Amino acid sequence: MPDLAIEIENLTKEYPFGFLHLKKKTSLEGLNMQVETGEVFGFIGPNGAGKSTTIKLLMGLIFPTAGSARILGKPISDVEMHRDVGYLPEQPYFYDYLTAAELLDYFARFHDLTAADRKERVQRMLKKVGLETARKIQLRKYSKGMLQRVGLAQAILHDPKVVILDEPMSGLDPLGRREVRDIILELKREGKTVMFSTHILSDAEMLCDRVGVIVGGKLRGAGAPGQIVDMKTQGMEILFELPGANSAPLLSKATRTGDRYRLQMAEEELYGAIEQLRGAGARILSVSQVKATLEEFFMNLVEADRAQAAAVEVSEK
Ligand SMILES: Nc1ncnc2c1ncn2[C@@H]1O[C@H](COP(=O)(O)OP(=O)(O)OP(=O)(O)O)[C@@H](O)[C@H]1O
Ligand SMILES: [Mg+2]
């Protein structure tokens, strides 16, 4: 198997709009990105960033204005590629009056399987996504989390090597998100490559070997979650307890919850602060480094992009 499961080169998508379609909106601009075989790759970006556009281009549902991509070495224009690729669309819609088993059996008919194989495969997939006992219930009675699991079962029904999921956790409660996370981890254990889009950063941080951050149609960073964020320490934080009223000068800078305080300072001020707190009778609970998070990295990019977009609007008036 090739080292790279997905290779994207200079992928660009423009949509014409306005009077006589004379204006163009660039949804994706010169995307270069790779997903390695066997990894879980998170594609993160705010609403309208170009995540679904990229995924739809990869699946051959829309066509690029420029650029190309390969999945497992095959160009995306090659229909053969679909044999090895599973896809969960954003907000999939399934006919409500079918049961999960009927729906999956219907999708299984697209693959060259005998009736017995089909039955066995549908059972196995329902078990994998935890819907074995609900298989004879109509989808209209399913919760959002259950429907998402049916969508996942549909995506992996033909045992693809690469699984591409567009917002698999969207609209799910923490329990539902965890179930989807567990299914993704199981796919990874089986050696599959998983690429999924999300704007839930904690899910990406928890699950992904690497992430790509896209904002305004452009890739702004790719790498291990801890790598793309500048992990340099931003200072130190002391968590301490100090019962009752107290007027130690340091307390004015601390955040208080009941008897507990949280105080942040530069590294060189740490020991002085500890001395002062001990002098005031505080019980120190923990001392930790304050690090930049993926969320801060992301928010900075999004804010800079919004400021730039606003500047363009002003200059076009
Ligand atoms: N058919 C289309 N015609 C014109 N513009 C489009 C079309 N499809 C998408 N766009 C625009 O392209 C941009 C990227 O959209 P896309 O759906 O890829 O974003 P996304 O990252 O998936 O966002 P979300 O998190 O909301 O799903 C958006 O500004 C969107 O309005
Ligand atoms: Mg989308």
**Could you say which DSSP state residue 197 is in?**
E
Residue 256's domain is classified under what CATH number? 3.30.1490
The model carries a pTM of 0.83
Residues 219, 84 share a domain:
yes
- Predicted confidence at residue 70, as pLDDT, reads 97
Question: For residue 238, what are the domain limits?
Answer: 233-291
Q: Please check whether residue 215 is in contact with residue 45, taking contact to mean a CB–CB distance below 8 angstroms.
A: yes
Q: Which two tokens stand for residue 204?
A: 């990406």
Confidence check: pLDDT of 173 > 80: yes
Is 317 part of a structural domain of the chain? Answer: no
Residues 16, 88 share a domain:
yes
Ligand closest to the CA atom of residue 44: 1
The ligand 1 site (C-beta within 6 Å) comprises 15, 25, 27, 45, 47-53, 90, 199
Residues 108, 206 share a domain:
yes
* Ligand 1 binding pocket mutation candidate from 11, 21, 25 (most atoms within 8 A of CB): 25
Residues 217, 284 share a domain:
no
- Cα–Cα dist 272/120, whole Å: 68
Is 313 part of a structural domain of the chain? Answer: no
Q: Which two tokens stand for residue 64?
A: 């690029």
Residues 164, 44 share a domain:
yes
- Cα–Cα dist 75/175, whole Å: 38
Average pLDDT over residues 10-25: 90
- Cα–Cα dist 117/123, whole Å: 10
Residues 268, 188 share a domain:
no
Q: Please check whether residue 35 is in contact with residue 289, taking contact to mean a CB–CB distance below 8 angstroms.
A: no
Average pLDDT over residues 230-244: 80
* Domain C-terminal end among 209, 225, 241: 225
Residue 129's domain is classified under what CATH number? 3.40.50.300
Q: Considering its fold, how many domains does the chain have in total?
A: 2
Average pLDDT over residues 27-33: 96
Is 178 part of a structural domain of the chain? Answer: yes
Q: 89: which strand partners?
A: none
**For the chain, where are the alpha helices, taking DSSP H only?**
51-58, 100-108, 115-128, 144-156, 174-189, 201-207, 225-228, 270-279, 294-316
The region of weakest confidence among 3-7, 153-157, 209-213, 277-281 is 277-281
* pLDDT tens-digit readout, 250-277: 788 889 888 899 999 998 999 999 999 9
Which residues fall inside 5 Å of ion ligand 2, going by CB?
51-52, 90
Confidence band, pLDDT 50/70/90 cuts, at residue 300: confident
